[in-house]
């Protein structure tokens, strides 16, 4: 790509050089009456300013012609060098170094997230992953996308995500998750199919435009399907009917506006908390509250009692405690040990 760019850059100077070569050869032949070889030779040593002697003594007319030919050659070199340096410093060199750094970063990514698309939803995903210090890379083929208008510094691949080689370049075999945010359900479905085939353990989340596409996405291999239209409409309706509840739920959705942390701890082999009741699991010492537990069978237990015994496969939903300690009279919330 860069060689073609430089080729176009030198096209005009080379054309001017060829024109001066023809002009000089014809001029010496007509003015001095020299043969073709002597005329070409004299033109070349004049344009290249190598300082060799004249082929034959020049007439006054030939001297005047040589002066103008020499000036034309010098100007041609000056303009060519100026254009080349300007192009190199302002465009290609800067772009080349940035792309090389970005490509090296992408090649070294591991356990990262791939965001397919460069629209508004994709940028929101990128902002939140950046907030949680998670590595990610975008795939977007349109230079006019929102991504390149707002955050062109984010790692990205400017190619078609529907091609397998593009997903391979993004390191799909090393990735932890993939988010499909393309405008159409058909494109998202194609990416989900390709991604699931290339990485069977990949976490795939995709957006849909129409609810009729939900089952197709799940059958294609998506782990989670999101409809922005459905979620947005549900949130507005719920805020009308239950405004207080919606305000409370917004605290968990907009975690970036509040000083607390949320995480899920899975009880796996070797976990020191397996077999312990919640009162002895010491989550409070780590400044976390137990909001709920998802059992291995998929059933959710909200506000579990302090006597609940943690088992293999349980997923514990934890909410970060307040920065300042609270008194016993203020701590009547989920996960509080029984008195």
Whether 111 is in a domain gets the answer: yes
Number of folded domains that form the chain? 3
- Do residues 209 and 225 touch, judged by C-beta distance below 8 A? no
Instruction: Mark whether 101 and 171 lie in a shared domain.
Output: yes
Tell me, yes or no, whether 72 and 122 share the same domain.
Answer: no
Q: What CATH number did the domain enclosing 180 receive?
A: 3.40.50.720
Is 213 exposed, middle or buried (CB count within 10 Å of its CB: 0-12, 13-18, 19+)?
Answer: buried
Residue 272 is part of a domain; what is its CATH number? 3.30.70.1450
Domain termination residue (choose one: 56, 90, 124): 90
CATH number of the domain that residue 44 is part of: 1.10.287.70
330 pLDDT band, cuts 50/70/90, is: very low
Convert the pLDDT of each residue in 241-263 to its tens digit. 888 776 766 666 665 445 567 78
Whether 185 is covered by a domain: the verdict is yes
Quick one: three-class SS letters along the chain?
Answer: CHHHHHHHHHHHHHHHHHHHHHHHHHHHHHHCCCCHHHHHHHHHHHHCCCCCCCCCCCCHHHHHHHHHHHHHHHHHHHHHHHHHHHHHHHHHHHHHHHHHHHHHHHHCCCCCEEEECCCHHHHHHHHHHHHCCCCEEEECCCCCCHHHHHCCCCCEECCCCCCHHHHHHCCCCCCCEEEECCCCHHHHHHHHHHHHHHCCCCEEEEECCCHHHHHHHHHHCCCEEECHHHHHHHHHHHHHHCHHHHHHHHHHHCHHHCCCCEEEEECCCCCCCCCCEHHHCCCHHHCEEEEEEECCCCCEEECCCCCCECCCCCEEEEEECCCCCCCHHHCCCCCCCCC
In a domain, 159, yes or no: yes
pTM of the predicted structure, to 2 decimals: 0.59
Do 147 and 121 belong together in one domain?
yes
In a domain, 1, yes or no: no
- Measured CA to CA, the distance from residue 128 to residue 126 in angstroms comes to 5
Higher pLDDT, 114 or 330: 114
What does the alpha-carbon distance between residue 286 and residue 302 come to, in Å, rounded to a whole number?
A: 20
Q: Which domain holds residue 191?
A: 95-231
Is 237 within a domain?
no
Q: Could you give the CA distance from residue 17 to residue 73 in angstroms, rounded to a whole number?
A: 8
Q: Are 73 and 104 in a shared domain?
A: no
* 292 domain-assigned: yes
Q: Are residues 186 and 299 in the same domain?
A: no
Position with higher pLDDT, 50 vs 273? 273
One domain for residues 158 and 181: yes
Q: How distant, in Å, are the alpha carbons of 112, 142, 332 from that of 152? A: 19, 12, 47
pLDDT in tens, 73-82: 888 888 888 8
Asked if residue 165 and residue 133 are part of one domain, the reply reads yes
Neighbours of 112 (CB within 10 A): 22
| pLDDT tens digits for range 32-45 | 888 998 888 888 88
* Claim to verify: residue 78 and residue 116 sit in the same structural domain: no
Mean per-residue pLDDT of the chain = 84
Residues 218 and 148 in one domain: yes
Question: Do 112 and 202 share a domain, yes or no?
Answer: yes
In a domain, 252, yes or no: no
53 shares a domain with 128: no
Q: What is the pLDDT of residue 332?
A: 41
- Domain-embedded: residue 276: yes
């Amino acid at each position: 790509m860069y060689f073609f760019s430089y080729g176009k850059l030198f096209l005009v100077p080379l054309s001017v050089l060829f024109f001066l070569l023809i002009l000089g050869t014809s001029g010496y032949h007509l003015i001095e009456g020299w043969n073709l070889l002597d005329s070409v030779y004299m033109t070349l040593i004049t344009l290249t300013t190598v300082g060799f002697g004249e082929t034959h003594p020049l007439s006054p007319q030939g001297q005047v012609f040589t002066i103008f030919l020499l000036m034309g050659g010098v100007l041609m070199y000056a303009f060519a060098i100026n254009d080349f340096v300007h192009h190199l410093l302002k465009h290609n060199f800067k772009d080349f170094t940035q792309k090389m750094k970005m490509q090296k970063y992408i090649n070294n990514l591991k356990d990262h997230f791939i965001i397919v698309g460069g629209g508004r939803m994709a940028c929101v995903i990128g902002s939140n992953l950046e907030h949680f210090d998670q590595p990610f890379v975008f795939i977007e083929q349109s230079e006019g996308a929102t991504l390149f208008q707002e955050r062109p510094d984010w790692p990205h691949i400017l190619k078609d995500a529907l091609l397998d080689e593009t997903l391979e370049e993004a390191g799909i075999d090393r990735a932890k998750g993939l988010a499909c945010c393309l405008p159409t359900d058909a494109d998202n479905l194609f990416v989900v199919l390709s991604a699931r085939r290339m990485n069977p353990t990949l976490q795939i989340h995709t957006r849909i435009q129409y609810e009729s596409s939900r089952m197709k996405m799940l059958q294609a291999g998506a782990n989670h399907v999101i409809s922005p239209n459905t979620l947005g409409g549900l949130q507005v309706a719920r805020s009308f009917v239950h405004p207080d509840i919606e305000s409370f739920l917004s605290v968990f959705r907009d975690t970036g506006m509040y000083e607390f942390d949320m995480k899920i701890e899975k009880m796996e082999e070797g976990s020191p908390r397996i077999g312990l009741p919640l009162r002895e699991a010491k989550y409070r010492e780590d400044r976390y509250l137990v909001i709920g537990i998802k059992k291995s069978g998929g059933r959710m237990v909200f506000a579990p009692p302090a006597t609940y015994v943690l088992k293999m496969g349980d997923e514990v939903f934890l909410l970060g405690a307040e920065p300042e300690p609270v008194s016993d009279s203020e701590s009547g919330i989920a996960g509080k040990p029984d008195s």
